[in-house]
């Protein structure tokens, strides 16, 4: 299993380019199943989760090809509308094919995800939303089996709580349903808006994506399209914090500053200088320890749960005590025990982490437990005194493309070992 060896202490300096968004590219690939014509996607990052999604599309019967950095999907016919357990267990976002498959073929069989490192993460809201559109759903032998032999019909979906992939799943189903669908309490994440933009290019009729009420007028068929995926706001946020924690001076390029505004406001309150450089770049400078500033994770446009672990790494070095409250997932504090091995002082009380800032962290051997936890350990290791080894970096490879090359290019002392 690959590890990272990191020697801390070098301030990062230079430019860090941001890739396309993993969490936008995942539903965009699933959306390609909605048409028998070619869909071309640009700026899809080369990360493990997206390789898994492409294998899943191929498993259902689609063809996937790569050309000049673009991905072309051609789902002429779908003989096998299924997401098997072996795939779903490695990537929960596989449930994103449920809506498109049942909308296009009238049936879908998708393995139910089990528990995962950050919480239970069921898909009950995806299932009940599809039932509102007329799908008959049975759950047996660990699979969700959806049937709609006469096609889906529009309906009203009201999510009990906000779900990002749940909103995306039902949106993809609704575009081919007969009549109007209204999705209430929809996720407002930029990735939902990006998916809607792609679907509209494919001929869908959607209003309100990016707000909490989305209206969809179903159409008979969709056609091919070309689309460029939005920048990855979580990669951008991770880089902003990497610059600040190492007391560096870095310009993050190819990002959307608005998408990371909840983070940059907190970073400024904590004493970092964050400056917009035109419409798609942010320069971060920070030459001192941060001030302790509390955060509470929320749905977009609030502070992203996917940046909580990385922000906490920075707060372990703050002057004062900060409270980091996680409201989205019930078990997303696995990184705290590993940060403690590097000298961090963190106490967990229910959904709150109480972080007492220390003068310094020290290098240690630590283990990554999930994608964003591994990013927080990399950040901590880049400022810790001496050498750290981070085990199980395959978690990091699920969502960050070439992370060690990117960080090394701005001065980090990081190498991948076996």
User: Which positions are catalytic?
Assistant: 116
Query: Binding segment for ligand EPU among 65-73, 78-86, 163-171, 361-369 (CB under 6 A)?
Result: 163-171
State yes or no: residue 309 binds ligand EPU (CB under 6 A): no
What span, in angstroms and rounded, lies between the C-alpha atoms of 188 and 186? 6
Listed in sequence order, the residues at least 6 apart from 68 whose beta carbon sits closer than 8 Å to its beta carbon are: none
State yes or no: residue 231 binds ligand EPU (CB under 6 A): no
Sheet of 156-158: strands edge to edge? Answer: 156-158, 180-184, 213-217, 205-207
What span, in angstroms and rounded, lies between the C-alpha atoms of 146 and 19? 35
Residue 6 beta carbon to ligand EPU: minimum distance, rounded to whole angstroms: 21
Burial 202-211 (b: 16+ CB within 10 A, else e): bbbebebbbe
Query: Binding segment for ligand EPU among 118-126, 144-152, 194-202, 224-232 (CB under 6 A)?
Result: 118-126
Query: Binding segment for ligand EPU among 100-108, 161-169, 273-281, 316-324 (CB under 6 A)?
Result: 161-169
| Element of type H or E holding 138 | strand 136-140
What span, in angstroms and rounded, lies between the C-alpha atoms of 201 and 41? 12
**Partners of 184 in the beta sheet?**
158, 213
Nearer to ligand EPU among residue 38 and residue 121 (C-beta)? 121
What span, in angstroms and rounded, lies between the C-alpha atoms of 53 and 59? 10
Q: Is the omega angle on the peptide bond into residue 301 within 30 degrees of 0, that is, cis?
A: yes
Contact between residue 60 and residue 249 where contact means Cβ atoms under 8 Å apart: no
Contact between residue 175 and residue 216 where contact means Cβ atoms under 8 Å apart: yes
**Binding string, residues 69-98; x marks residues near ligand EPU by CB under 6 A:** ------------------------x-----
Residue 126 beta carbon to ligand EPU: minimum distance, rounded to whole angstroms: 5
Query: Binding segment for ligand EPU among 74-82, 116-124, 243-251, 271-279 (CB under 6 A)?
Result: 116-124
Nearer to ligand EPU among residue 118 and residue 225 (C-beta)? 118
Contact between residue 59 and residue 87 where contact means Cβ atoms under 8 Å apart: yes
State yes or no: residue 109 binds ligand EPU (CB under 6 A): no
State yes or no: residue 61 binds ligand EPU (CB under 6 A): no
State yes or no: residue 163 binds ligand EPU (CB under 6 A): yes
State yes or no: residue 125 binds ligand EPU (CB under 6 A): yes
Instruction: Identify residues 389-418 at the interface with ligand EPU (CB under 6 A).
Output: 399
Secondary structure of residue 264 in the 3-state scheme: helix
- The residue among 326, 323, 312 whose CA lies nearest residue 354 is 323
State yes or no: residue 190 binds ligand EPU (CB under 6 A): no
Site size toward ligand EPU, by CB under 6 A: 24
State yes or no: residue 224 binds ligand EPU (CB under 6 A): no
Residue 187 beta carbon to ligand EPU: minimum distance, rounded to whole angstroms: 6
State yes or no: residue 122 binds ligand EPU (CB under 6 A): yes
Contact between residue 380 and residue 345 where contact means Cβ atoms under 8 Å apart: no
State yes or no: residue 164 binds ligand EPU (CB under 6 A): yes
State yes or no: residue 237 binds ligand EPU (CB under 6 A): no
Residue 121 beta carbon to ligand EPU: minimum distance, rounded to whole angstroms: 4
Alpha helices in 81-163 (DSSP H): 85-88, 98-105, 124-132
Out of 8, 12, 18, 23, name the contact with ligand EPU by CB under 6 A.
Answer: 23
Residues engaged in binding ligand EPU (CB under 6 A): 23, 26, 93, 119-126, 161, 163-166, 191, 305-306, 328-329, 371-372, 399
């Amino acid at each position: 299993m690959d590890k990272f060896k990191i020697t801390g202490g070098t301030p990062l300096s230079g430019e860090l380019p941001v890739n396309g968004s993993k969490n936008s590219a995942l539903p965009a690939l699933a959306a390609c199943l909605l048409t028998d014509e070619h869909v071309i996607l640009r700026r899809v990052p080369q990360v493990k989760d997206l390789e898994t999604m492409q294998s899943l599309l191929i498993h259902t019967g689609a063809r996937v090809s790569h050309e000049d950095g673009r991905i072309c999907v051609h789902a002429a016919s779908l003989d096998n509308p299924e997401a098997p357990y072996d795939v779903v267990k490695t990537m929960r976002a596989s449930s994103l094919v449920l809506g498109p498959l049942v909308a296009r073929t009238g049936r879908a069989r998708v393995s139910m995800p089990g528990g995962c490192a950050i919480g239970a993460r069921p898909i009950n809201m995806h299932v009940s939303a599809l039932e509102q559109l007329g799908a008959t759903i049975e759950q047996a032998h660990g699979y969700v089996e959806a049937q709609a032999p006469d096609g889906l019909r529009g309906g009203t979906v009201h999510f009990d709580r906000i779900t990002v992939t749940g909103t995306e799943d039902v949106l993809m189903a609704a575009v081919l349903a007969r009549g109007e669908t209204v999705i209430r309490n929809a996720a407002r994440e930029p990735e939902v808006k990006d998916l809607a933009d792609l679907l509209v290019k494919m001929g869908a009729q959607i209003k309100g994506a990016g707000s909490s009420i989305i209206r969809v007028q179903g159409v008979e068929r969709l056609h091919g399209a070309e689309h460029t995926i939005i920048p990855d706001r979580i990669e951008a946020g991770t880089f902003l914090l990497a610059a600040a924690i190492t007391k560096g001076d870095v310009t993050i390029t190819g990002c959307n500053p608005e998408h990371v505004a909840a983070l940059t406001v907190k970073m400024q309150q904590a004493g970092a200088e964050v400056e917009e450089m035109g419409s798609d770049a942010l320069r971060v400078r920070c030459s001192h320890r941060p001030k302790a500033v509390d955060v509470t994770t929320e749905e977009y446009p609030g502070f992203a749960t996917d940046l909580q672990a990385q922000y906490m790494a920075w707060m372990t070095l703050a002057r004062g005590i900060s409270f980091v409250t996680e409201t989205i997932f019930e078990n997303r504090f696995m990184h705290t025990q590993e940060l403690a091995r590097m000298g961090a002082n963190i106490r967990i009380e229910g959904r709150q982490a109480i972080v007492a800032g220390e003068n310094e962290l020290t290098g240690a051997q630590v283990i990554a437990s999930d994608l964003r936890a591994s990013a927080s350990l990399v950040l901590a290791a880049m400022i810790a005194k001496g050498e750290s080894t981070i085990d199980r970096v395959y978690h990091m490879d699920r969502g960050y493309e070439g992370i060690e090359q990117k960080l090394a290019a701005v001065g980090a002392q990081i190498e991948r070992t076996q």
